[in-house]
Chains A and B, each alone.
Chain A
Amino acid sequence: MKNFVTIQPFKTFQRVAYYTFWVEGHERSETDAFFTRFENELALANDLNLLVAWIQEIGQNRGAKNRYFRFENDATALPPPARIMAELGSSYCQFRLYCIRLSDEVVILANGGQKTSQTVQNSPQLMAHFRFANKMAQQLTEMIQSGELVLDGKQIVGLETIELLD
């Protein structure tokens, strides 16, 4: 079965426009599904607050510089890479929100979850989202290289429905 995915605006700030993926037939966009899923989990509230604060600070004041993002094969992820620090607690931001950074001004947020192990392969909740983000990243890279998708500042020109490959 083939799934069709659209890219839609998610949040726009002064320096960065964040977009998201919406899979045909799903009730919510991928990123809204992520935040809705964890919104009321009290034990993870601080981690989620940090993640949102990073997205807003990068979006409003910094720009989506490459070094703020973790490399996750062809995709990227937030929060920025960091060693676990005592001041933030041993459970410092357990979340991984996968994304595709197209420029300093355009980031497409995907879905994510809790990273419960050293590697994503051992975090079953994350694996599907990791694969989805990487598949999308590969297709978007090809579309940019072929000129099918063009960035104009914070705008993505030529937003089309993307056919996910099996």
Chain B
Amino acid sequence: MDAFDRIAARTPDQTRRLVSKMLDVADRIQAILQQKGMTQKDLAVALHKSESEISKWVSGAHNLELKTIIRIEEALGEDILTVTKPQATA
């Protein structure tokens, strides 16, 4: 076991979940852009942001605030996050 493996073994699940969720959001934004034939520049224009800012959003290391995600959803016309709701009981 080398240093990388030892660090991996001690890395908390919370850190892994954080990285995974950030990349999920980034990948979802990128997928919607491709599906709609939009570029990062188009999204930047729609949100009055710089293209470099959008580039950070789709890199997966940007911890986006929920209100920013909502703005992106509005600009793209698609949901980025969906939350499972409990089924109504009779």
Evaluate contact between B4 and A52: CB separation under 8 angstroms: yes
| Interface flags, B1-17, vs A, CB<8A=1, else 0 | 01110111011100110
Which residues, 1 to 43 on B, are CB-close (under 8 Å) to A?
Answer: 2-4, 6-8, 10-12, 15-16, 18-20, 23, 26-27, 30
Q: How many residues of B contact A (CB 8 A)?
A: 27
Separation of A88 and B64 alpha carbons in the complex (Å): 11
User: Which residues of B are interface residues toward A (Cβ below 8 A)?
Assistant: 2-4, 6-8, 10-12, 15-16, 18-20, 23, 26-27, 30, 53, 55-56, 58-63
Evaluate contact between B4 and A80: CB separation under 8 angstroms: no
Q: Summarize B's interface: helix, strand, loop or mixed.
A: helix
Evaluate contact between B2 and A32: CB separation under 8 angstroms: yes
Evaluate contact between B15 and A53: CB separation under 8 angstroms: yes
Evaluate contact between B19 and A36: CB separation under 8 angstroms: no
Query: Which of B10, B20, B30, B60 has a CB less than 8 Å from the CB of A49?
Result: B10
Q: Which 8 A-B pairs have the closest CB atoms?
A: A82-B61, A80-B61, A35-B3, A80-B59, A85-B63, A49-B11, A36-B3, A53-B19
Separation of A61 and B21 alpha carbons in the complex (Å): 12
Which residues, 38 to 52 on A, are CB-close (under 8 Å) to B?
Answer: 39, 45-46, 48-50, 52
Closest Cβ–Cβ distance, residue B30 to chain A (whole Å): 7
Query: Which of B4, B30, B63 has a CB less than 8 Å from the CB of A82?
Result: B63
